[in-house]
């Protein structure tokens, strides 16, 4: 699940980074595709990853993310104002849900030897906080901002707009989440009990043909 989320976030970050156009239409289209794909990951994980009683965060996150992605997929809504409205609302809502789910899981697992579950709770808490920060950062970007500047080496004038900054912030968020979740996905998480069982098995296993025959 973490690797799938990381892959889609990395794809969104690359599309934003290498696109010369950071308009609302591009930003909303990239966000829409990423949100729908990520929403599917959340919803599929309800049956493939989590047990009964642990599914509510994925249900809520999947629904909110899918709805945001579908709204962003409506061409007539791909405006500067709607980009900020949709992404900010999604970030604050899903960030709060994931943060609360991660915090609750960490409290419930305090003192537990389940390293994998504790790692998942920590990852949810971290990504949730980063998502809330995305929403708060976009709140401080004026939608009508425009700054004209001239680059002598290029020999032309450019305009830095609020939507350019907003789309860039979203791209940075996607890159950070992609790197964090990719590292988390490839980090080994074995519980102490499993490690102890593995060590005991290794100690009891024959180390040479002679030992095997004696056993």
Tell whether pTM > 0.95: no
Q: How far apart are CA 104 and CA 170, in angstroms?
A: 27
Enclosing domain of residue 166: 2-199
In whole angstroms, give the CA distance from residue 167 to residue 21. 10
In a domain, residue 172? The reply is yes
pLDDT value of residue 194: 41
- What's the CATH number where 193 sits? 1.20.120
pLDDT for the residue 189: 58
Q: In 10 A of CB 77, how many CB atoms?
A: 16
Compute CA distances 130 → 5, 58, 86, 96, 174, whole Å: 14, 17, 17, 10, 10
Q: Is 7 part of any domain? A: yes
Task: Please state, in angstroms and rounded to a whole number, the distance separating the CA atoms of residues 204 and 159.
Answer: 70
Structural domains counted in the chain: 1
19 assigned to some structural domain = yes
List average pLDDT for each run of 10 residues in the chain, which is 215 residues long: 93 93 92 96 85 82 96 92 96 96 86 76 93 96 76 67 93 96 80 41 42 44
Q: Would 209 be classed as within a structural domain? A: no
Q: Is residue 214 part of a domain?
A: no
What's the CA gap between 119 and 151, in Å, rounded? 47
Structure-block tokens of residue 38: 């990520």
Cα Dmax for the chain: 84
103 lies in some domain: yes
């Amino acid at each position: 699940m973490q690797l799938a989320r990381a892959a889609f976030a990395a794809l969104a970050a690359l599309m934003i980074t290498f696109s010369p156009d950071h308009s609302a239409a591009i930003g909303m289209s990239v966000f829409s595709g990423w949100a729908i794909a990520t929403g599917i990951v959340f919803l599929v994980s309800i049956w493939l990853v989590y047990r009964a009683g642990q599914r509510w965060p994925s249900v809520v996150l999947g629904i909110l993310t899918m709805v945001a992605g579908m709204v962003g997929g409506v061409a007539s809504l791909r405006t500067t104002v709607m980009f900020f409205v949709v992404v900010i609302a999604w970030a604050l809502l899903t960030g709060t849900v994931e943060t609360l789910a991660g915090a609750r899981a960490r409290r419930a697992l305090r003192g537990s030897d389940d390293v994998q579950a504790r790692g998942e709770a920590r990852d949810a808490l971290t990504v949730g906080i980063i998502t809330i920060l995305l929403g708060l950062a976009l709140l401080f970007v004026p939608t009508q901002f425009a700054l004209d500047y001239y680059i002598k080496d290029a020999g032309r004038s450019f305009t830095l707009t609020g939507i350019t900054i907003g789309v860039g912030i979203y791209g940075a968020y996607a890159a950070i989440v992609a790197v964090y979740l990719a590292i988390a996905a490839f980090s080994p998480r074995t519980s102490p009990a499993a490690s102890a069982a593995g060590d005991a098995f290794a100690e009891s296993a024959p180390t040479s043909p002679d030992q095997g025959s004696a056993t």
